[in-house]
């Protein structure tokens, strides 16, 4: 009699956010609203840009992009099927959603004018590989925008230390200097990083870089 195969263990981030998906936006509504608003303000899109949202989750940023830039061609990728199911219910059919990881993006090379990631980079376990993939799918002259927690702020630094001990999904937060170094080592000669607070306690940064127009 053939042995039954055990189901493959899910990655910690998939396991955690599968549980959170149904209530995620309600629980973190203030935080999501603030971070997506700050990211959207820094995108500076042209009307028909093709945009990829990495770690799109429940589609909060894509939803705002749809309303602010109705002619933009939008796509999102996330490793958690349950989060993508929420996104599919809220977004138009024209928004392309795929299951996948930042380190192995399921898209052809040079497909996007803008690649954006909002509140996802601290989960990425292979940041160098992820940045290479983001660069691969960007067209020459395309822009990369990353918004994430900023380790230069004490609250983020303490939260990072706590989560490294108690959350298997969390990986690492970065300060502005370390984030710039990662981007520069990936071939981005000109990196702009803006640090800011979204309330009296919590600090973010948005990194912007442009792929060389070869």
Per-residue pLDDT tens over the stretch 14-52: 999 999 999 999 999 999 999 999 999 999 899 999 999
Q: Per the domain annotation, does 6 fall within a domain?
A: no
* Rounded CA separation 125/130 (Å): 9
Within a domain: residue 76? yes
- Please indicate, yes or no, if residue 61 is contained in any of the structural domains: yes
- CATH number of the domain where residue 135 is located: 3.40.50.150
Query: Residue 5 domain-assigned?
Result: no
CB contact at 8 A, 74 and 53? yes
Residue 2 domain-assigned (yes or no) = no
pLDDT at position 112 is 98
Confirm whether 43 is domain-assigned: yes
Residue 31 lies in a domain: yes
Query: What is the domain count for the chain?
Result: 1
pLDDT digits (tens, 9 = 90+) for 124-179: 999 999 999 999 999 999 999 999 999 999 999 999 999 999 999 999 999 999 99
Q: Which residues contact 91 (CB under 8 A, 6 or more apart)?
A: 59, 62, 63, 66, 97
Q: What is the pTM of this model?
A: 0.94
Looking at the domain assignment, is residue 1 inside a domain?
Answer: no
**Which residues form the domain of 130?**
12-210
């Amino acid at each position: 009699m053939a042995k039954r195969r055990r189901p493959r263990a899910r990655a910690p981030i998939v396991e955690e956010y599968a549980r959170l998906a149904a209530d995620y936006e309600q629980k973190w509504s203030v935080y999501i609203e603030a971070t997506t608003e700050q990211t959207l303000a820094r995108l500076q899109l042209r009307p028909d840009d093709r945009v990829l949202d990495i770690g799109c989750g429940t589609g909060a940023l894509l939803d705002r992009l749809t309303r602010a830039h109705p002619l933009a061609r939008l796509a999102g990728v996330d490793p958690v099927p349950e989060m993508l199911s929420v996104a599919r219910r809220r977004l138009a059919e024209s928004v392309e959603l795929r299951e996948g990881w930042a380190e192995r993006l399921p898209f052809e090379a040079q497909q996007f004018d803008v690649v954006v990631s909002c509140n996802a980079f601290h989960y990425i376990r292979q940041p160098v590989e992820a940045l290479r993939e983001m660069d691969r799918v960007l067209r020459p002259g395309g822009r990369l925008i990353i918004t994430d927690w900023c380790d230069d702020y004490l609250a983020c630094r303490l939260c990072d230390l706590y989560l490294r001990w108690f959350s298997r999904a969390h990986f690492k937060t970065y300060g502005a200097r370390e984030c710039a170094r990662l981007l520069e080592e990936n071939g981005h000669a000109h990196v702009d990083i803006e640090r800011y607070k979204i309330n009296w306690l919590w600090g973010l940064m948005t990194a912007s870089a442009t792929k060389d127009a070869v």
